[in-house]
Amino acid sequence: MDSEALIIFFFGGVLMVGVGVLVSNLVAPSSKNTQKDEPYECGIPTQGPSMIQFKVGYYLFAILFLIFDVETVFIFPWAVVMKKVGMAAFIEILIFFIVLGLGLLYAWKKKALKWE
């Protein structure tokens, strides 16, 4: 089988959830109650909206991740051909890692890795 079989697995996932939700809707009881529509926050009425602007720290880590994940994608093909290319590949990745490490050190020094 080739990569077109991925479509089957995609629809397999869709089918599994879809059928499950459908059956659940058919057999599950349903009763209306205004209390049921409330967010579950330990019984106390919710204060203010919940879909709010959130702490920027998470966003910072997302950006850091983006940088390093792109680097990882570069390392993937390198790792595959490393043994064939030999010493040249090792030197190159050494330079690459030094630059990468400097980036990490910069983020570290700027306290981007510190959670406040």
Partner 1 sequence: MNWLYDFSYLTGGIHNSLSEHFEPSTVTLIEMILAGVAFMILFAILGLVLVYAERKVSAFFQQRLGPMRVGKWGTAQTLADVIKLLMKEPLMNKNADSFLFNLAPYIIMIAAFMAMAALPFAKGLHALDFDIGILYVSAVSSLGVIGILLAGWSSDNKYSLIGAMRSGAQIISYELSVGLSLLTIVVLTGSLQFSTIIESQANGWWIFKGHISAVIAFIIFLIASTAETNRGPFDLAEAESELTAGFHTEYSGLKFAFFFLAEFANMFIVSAIGATVFLGGWMPFHIGGWVGFNNIMDYIPPIFWFFGKVSFIIFLMMWFRWTFPRLRIDQLLTLEWKYLLPVNLMNILIMAFLALMGWHF
Q: Which of residues 11-30 bind partner 1 (CB under 8 A)?
A: 11-18, 20-21, 23-25, 27-30
Q: Would you list the DSSP string of 6-62?
A: HHHHHHHHHHHHHHHHHHHHHHS-----GGGGS--STTSPPPS-SS----HHHHHHH
For residue 53, state whether it binds partner 1 (rule: CB under 8 A).
no
For residue 72, state whether it binds partner 1 (rule: CB under 8 A).
yes
For residue 103, state whether it binds partner 1 (rule: CB under 8 A).
no
Contacts 24+ apart (CB under 8 A), 24-32: none
For residue 110, state whether it binds partner 1 (rule: CB under 8 A).
no
Of 43, 44, 56, 83, the one binding partner 1 by CB under 8 A:
83
Q: Tokens for 54? A: 């959130």
For residue 101, state whether it binds partner 1 (rule: CB under 8 A).
yes
